[in-house]
A and B are shown apart, each in its own frame.
Chain A
Amino acid sequence: GNSVTQMEGPVTLSEEAFLTINCTYTATGYPSLFWYVQYPGEGLQLLLKATKADDKGSNKGFEATYRKETTSFHLEKGSVQVSDSAVYFCALSYNYGGATNKLIFGTGTLLAVQP
């Protein structure tokens, strides 16, 4: 079946550190891949996406590249800020077998950035 696996959290970093949050997926066919972010007390926001192999999604200094050969979509940021503290969810959506645009989420990774 389809699934998403994220690295366990929490991830604690100092301000300006480099961030990587690992995400791998299992899917039949060619899913689209997403990163969503949930800031404390807020709803889920789409951070970035990639719809095909080798696509790079980017937003707010965050990047992730759709790697079909390693079935991965790792989230990176070169220099994190305290305001980046949130829970990050990796997700995939697929359209086959009668399913349409269903999102399957990873377990989420809590990022805490300290000043």
Chain B
Amino acid sequence: KAGVTQTPRYLIKTRGQQVTLSCSPISGHRSVSWYQQTPGQGLQFLFEYFSETQRNKGNFPGRFSGRQFSNSRSEMNVSTLELGDSALYLCASSVGPADTEAFFGQGTRLTVV
């Protein structure tokens, strides 16, 4: 059974641009969550989608948004990139809610220059 797939693995963007990251969950998993990892703030929850609905959102500005498609694949978008958005973005999939057993993808490493 395939694991969680995130694309792309690496991205370099300039300030002010926008970026879209993609996550395909494990087959049969309906919940997709996104986390940001930085050296200063650690791993922080961004948002969770379940059956195409955002059920929970972390404390991030509105520049961070996401969506989930009918096949459970999810995308997150960051607009007007700032240097501080440089981070490892991790996607997790779960059968049930995001606070149940989660499985993570390899992450997308975003660098904003």
Partners in one complex: no
